Copies of this chain bind each other. A is one copy, B any other.
Amino acid sequence: MDALMASREFSFMTDYSACRKRSTDLCSHVEIEDLVVQPTPEVSPIKWHLAHTTWFFEELILAKHLKGYVRYNERYGELFNSYYNALGPHWIQSGRGTQSRPTVSEIIKYRNHVDKCIEILLNTSDINGEVYFLMELGINHEEQHQELMLMDIKYILSRNAVRANYYEGPIPTSKRSIQGWRRFGEGVYFVGNESPEFSFDNENPRHKTYLYPFEISSSLVTNGEYLEFLNSRAYSNPRFWLSLGWEWVQKNQIRNPLYWIRQEGAWLEFTLHGVRPIDLNSPVVHVSYFEADAFARWKDMRLPTEQEFEVFLGSESWPAVECEGTILHPVDPNAVRRQVWCWTKSPYVSYPNFESFQGALEEYNGKFMCNQFVLKGGCFATPEGHYRDSYRNFYLPEQRWIFSGIRLAKDPK
């Protein structure tokens, strides 16, 4: 691991700085007011993300490893701790949007201060393996929040009565999906991370699993296909829904994917590029597990398990998704990876012989292994270099402000 560390030593500050810059760059398209509000408890104010990711470096690295470090502001610990009980009390999540202070510019100062101290720390000669690990984790953690920031910005802008676009560039028209099925045989397969590079605890250890024959679609479910489901009045038919899903549909009057808008007989969609008519060939996005599961049942198919999905991913070469310019929306129904996170039918549980990160980081992943479902495959907003086939994303079955879509599976007859 020493050689690895040596090479990392040089690149860390570059990676770190690039990562940190990307977070503030994400805010450059919007106004201060957009960084403050919290329109629903699960969406955090963008300025909170900027501060929380900074606190993560301060609390887990500087406070412990930079000699003599004094925390920037004693109140920030409570405000910007997300949920780590081992690291002290934390502000209630739904109350993040009540805090006008610290202001955005104060948070930027906080970021700069921490960046400077991280640089000092990394320039110290005697950096140990734990710091390297924490730096990698901190960067990966901030990358996770960058995707969250885009999810949250989209939600925040969508709630405004006075509409504003995040990004002005156009979204290219999608090509038609090429329908097809990939078939896999029965047997013992390996799943889980196998790389020596950074990975989260929950992707480990790599292990064997027994799979029965399955087929998985080579394309993502499109808006057009989903519209058929919707037009068949499936949202009014309990038959297709899990019991909790049907309750959710009725209680929240769910009638379509999160950002779809019915206007004068047409379906429009709120995107980070503004409102536009839905593109029937684009992958459907912003559906809940309940909707994905109901769609599959309506099709007389099912969602893949996460193991099946990972086996499928492992069998596909890495396509070069060529994007000219920035496209903040899924457009390619035939892409294997990094378009929309695909719901699997697998509840999020630990792998056999799972060992969580140690200390406070024990709380990073393991304690959420209840009532969540795994999503696989990455999305367009997942930062470059952050994605792995063994990556396990996880959300509650009713959540859909994620960039989530559907890839179907079925049992061969």
Contact = CB atoms under 8 A, between A and B. Distances in A.
Contact of A36 (B37, B85, B164, B245): B37
B31 A33 contact: no
Interface stretch (A53-61, A227-235, A368-376): A368-376
A161 interface: yes
A103 interface: yes
B212 A210 contact: no
B346 A349 contact: yes
Nearest to A241: B367
A124 interface: no
- Which of A95, A212, A241 has the most B CB atoms < 10 Å from its CB? A212
A162 B39 CA distance: 22
Interface residues of A, number: 67
Interface string A272-289: 000000000000000001
Contact of A37 (B37, B157, B369, B370): B37
A209 B210 contact: yes
A211 B98 CA distance: 47
- 9 cross-chain pairs, A with B, having the tightest CB-CB distances, nearest first: A347-B347, A39-B98, A85-B238, A33-B100, A210-B210, A212-B352, A34-B100, A101-B162, A101-B160
Contact of A33 (B79, B101, B241, B246): B101
A159 interface: yes
B353 A100 contact: no
A329 to B, nearest CB: 21
Contacts of A86: 239
Interface in A93-152: 95, 97-104
A291 to B, nearest CB: 13
Contacts of A353: 212, 411
A99 B37 contact: yes
Contacts of A362: 239
A357 to B, nearest CB: 14
9 contacts: A32-B33, A33-B47, A34-B101, A37-B100, A78-B161, A79-B161, A100-B160, A101-B160, A242-B368
A386 interface: no
Nearest to A243: B367
Nearest to A164: B101
Nearest to A105: B31
Interface in A46-78: 47, 73, 75-76, 78
A330 interface: no
Interface in A17-58: 31-34, 36-40, 47
Contact of A161 (B99, B104, B207, B211): B99
Given A37-B99, A289-B370, 15 more contacts: A33-B36, A33-B101, A36-B100, A40-B98, A85-B239, A99-B162, A100-B156, A188-B188, A210-B210, A243-B367, A243-B370, A345-B349, A346-B349, A370-B397, A371-B371
A79 B162 contact: yes
A36 B39 contact: no
